Structure 1
Amino acid sequence: MFTVFEIGPWVIEADAAETRKQYEKSWAEPCDCGSCRNFSEAMNLLPAEKTRLFTQFGIRPAVCHDLGEHGKENGLHHYAGSYPIVGRLREGCPEYHIERAGDIRFSFSLPSTTFFIPKDFPDPIIHLDFSLLLPWVLEEEAE
């Protein structure tokens, strides 16, 4: 069932229940590098109010396959990535327009490739693109 979300310049119709169902499936093996494992662990440690931007759409924040680490800022690791959502942009620009939800910078876009979208992820699809800073939480040294 599609729900309407008004966020920044966007009006989004998203099916959070279907998106959640997709994130509960077993996807292809994620990257196993230290940076990606740290992202997953650090996202699992964030309080609910910090991850609400993602979870309201049915996203499991620790599961991101389109992810990159882009150095450090003020001792924190800068991550940027994209999560697929079952949904459509009803209003607003699909171009990259940055909004903020606390410390998280985000935007919504149309997928330009299906490379990082799991097989059988249902249409329509939009992306929640994000950028955020996270601490290193793994016991091993940062790469």
Structure 2
Amino acid sequence: MRITLGECILDINVEENERYYKNERNITEDCQCDGCENYELAVEQVSSEVSKMFKQLGLDIKKPAEVYVNCSDNNILLYGGFYHLCGTMIEGKSAWEIVSKTKKSMVSHLNEERMFCIGKDFRIFFQEDCALLSKDFPRPCIQMEILAYSPWVLQKQNTYEQQI
């Protein structure tokens, strides 16, 4: 199915994504850190626009390949992470920009202006390079990276909030 999100035109195999994610484990089945546990609960409260986009792509929002907390302020966490999708990019480019490159290393920067906003708290972009790709994930594959502002919803102290 051809889908346009922001500047990206994608050819996504929605049925294959749904089939894969139906059997995939939730993030907290592999990681019980506070960040992952909070993300799994907080995504139940995302906007209808975000839910609709995940459904359109055939993804389960509770099953990212990776999710992590970048920072926390007033019990709002900034999450980064990514999901894998069966499909290809017809048009578009990654929001990661190479700042410097040597034979041994590469430094890149995330250009948030290249990300597609879904509501006020969720941004995405797509890229062809896939990190942490499971060997049983259907091919061809692309990666959807996210930046998401989510509330702290666990019934305990926010372990990411800076203590002064």
Same fold (TM over 0.5): yes
Q: Distance in 1 between matches of 2:13 and 2:157?
A: 39
2:139 aligned partner, one-letter code: D
Output aligned runs, 1:17-96, within 5 Å: 17-27=15-25, 29-96=29-96
Residues 83-130 of structure 1 deviation map (CA, whole Å, 9 limit, x = unaligned) = 0000100112245431211121110011243x2x23311101001111
| Count of residue pairs brought into register by the alignment | 139
1:14 lines up with 2:19 in the alignment:
no
Give SS of 1:56's match: helix
Q: Could you tell me how far 1:74 is from its partner in structure 2? A: 4.8
Q: What SS does structure 1 have at the residue aligned with 2:138?
A: coil
Change over 3 Å in CA distance of 1:112–1:17 after alignment to 2 = closer
TM-score (norm 1): 0.87
Structure 2 residue ranges without an equivalent (≥5):
97-113, 160-164
Given candidates 96, 99, 120, the residue that maps to 2:116 is 99
1:108 to 105, 126, 131: 126
Map of 2:136 onto structure 1: 120
Q: Which runs of 5+ in 1 are unaligned?
A: none
Percentage of identical aligned residues:
24
Structure 1 stretches of 4+ with a deviation exceeding 4 A read none
Q: Whose Rg is larger?
A: 2
State the TM-score, normalizing by the size of structure 2: 0.76
Classify the secondary structure of the residue corresponding to 1:100.
strand
Secondary structure of 1:20's counterpart equals helix
The 8 Å contact of residues 31 and 65 in structure 1, kept in 2 or not, is answered as no
